[in-house]
A = this chain, B = another copy of it.
Amino acid sequence: MNIRHSSRAVMMMALVWASGLTAQPIQLEKLEKKTILLFSPHPDDDTFCCAGTLALLAKRANNIHIFIYTNDDKGSYDPEMTSERLGRIRKAEEEEACRIVGIPKENIHWLQFHDGMLEYASPRDLVEQVTKIIRAYRPDVVLSIDPGSEYVRWHKTDHRMSANNTMDAIRAAEWHLYFPNQRLHDGLAPWKVPMEALFYVTPKDANYWVNVDDVFDVKLAASLAHVSQWEPAIRKYRVDWDPKELDALKQKLKARAPKKDGHFVEAFRIRGRFNQP
């Protein structure tokens, strides 16, 4: 007899009852021909945290879509910069970073909030919007910012709303009675995301590390495609790098890149079958 017990009731009781359940995560970087969605607050968080993993996944014919909450049109010290122009620059940089990683620009989707303003969006509308995306794409994996393993982690504008909202949408997407007009008008069935891989994890929360040795240079190149996020272009915009400065920065970043057991890694917290905690 093989009774599957309700994830919800078991999940809630697992919070207070002794639990023998342990997640048996699939090996993230070995996935093939799957649909993978990544939700990022800004066009660079995806690159800085996941470019290596994405590059590995792109090579294995996965269908990767990047959803970016904000257009990142505020973060420049250049006094001549305007938001309109910075938005264009950041879009181009994201497209270039994705190209390096192996993701076509058609797969980049912008939720069109302004930088720093995501916190002030209507939270109900935002959950509904992302729930629709999840039900439409029916992803095998969602990558998103870790809201914290047990506590609400973020007090950084955009990151907090992004982290919580993606989680709430994953939860809502599972039940057809949430936002039922999506079934009625769009023909979208509910969808339970089988795997969540959360980035921006603290060291104590990480439970999964992807070895990115083979794609480390790709990751570095993608990170540095966000030219306007780095000195000197963040102070006085220029479209490209001085080769010497670029080289120096590469060395510096390489020296500081996170390692585990002698390998370059990207850290995640994998959430398996249970949404909570």
Query: Interface of A with B (CB < 8 Å)?
Result: 1, 3-6, 8-9, 12-20, 44-45, 48-49, 71, 73-77, 79, 81-88, 91, 110, 112-117, 119-125, 147-148, 150-157, 160, 163-164, 167-168, 171-172, 175-182, 184-185, 190, 199-202, 223, 226, 229-232, 234, 244-245, 248-249, 252-253, 255-259, 266-267, 275-277
In the bound complex, residues from chain B placing their C-beta under 8 Å from that of A253 are 13, 17
In the complex, the answer to whether B178 meets A3 with C-beta atoms within 8 Å is: no
In the complex, the answer to whether B184 meets A231 with C-beta atoms within 8 Å is: no
In the complex, the answer to whether B223 meets A76 with C-beta atoms within 8 Å is: no
In the bound complex, residues from chain B placing their C-beta under 8 Å from that of A16 are 48-49, 199-201, 258, 266-267
A206 shortest CB reach to chain B, Å: 10
In the bound complex, residues from chain B placing their C-beta under 8 Å from that of A201 are 16
**Cross-chain pairs A/B with CB under 8 angstroms, 23 sampled:** A4-B231, A5-B249, A8-B75, A8-B234, A9-B223, A16-B48, A16-B200, A16-B258, A17-B253, A18-B257, A18-B258, A20-B255, A75-B177, A81-B177, A87-B180, A88-B184, A112-B179, A112-B182, A116-B172, A119-B123, A119-B124, A120-B123, A150-B153
- Find the B residue at minimum CB distance from A19: B256
In the complex, the answer to whether A48 meets B116 with C-beta atoms within 8 Å is: no
Complex Cα distance, B156 from A72, in Å, reads 27
A197 shortest CB reach to chain B, Å: 13
In the complex, the answer to whether A234 meets B6 with C-beta atoms within 8 Å is: yes
A238 shortest CB reach to chain B, Å: 13
Complex Cα distance, B150 from A208, in Å, reads 20
In the bound complex, residues from chain B placing their C-beta under 8 Å from that of A115 are 177
Besides A14-B256, A152-B154, A157-B172, 18 new A-B residue pairs in contact (Cβ under 8 A), listed by A number:
A4-B231, A9-B48, A13-B48, A15-B49, A16-B48, A19-B256, A20-B255, A74-B175, A84-B84, A87-B181, A91-B185, A116-B171, A119-B124, A147-B155, A151-B151, A151-B152, A151-B153, A155-B164
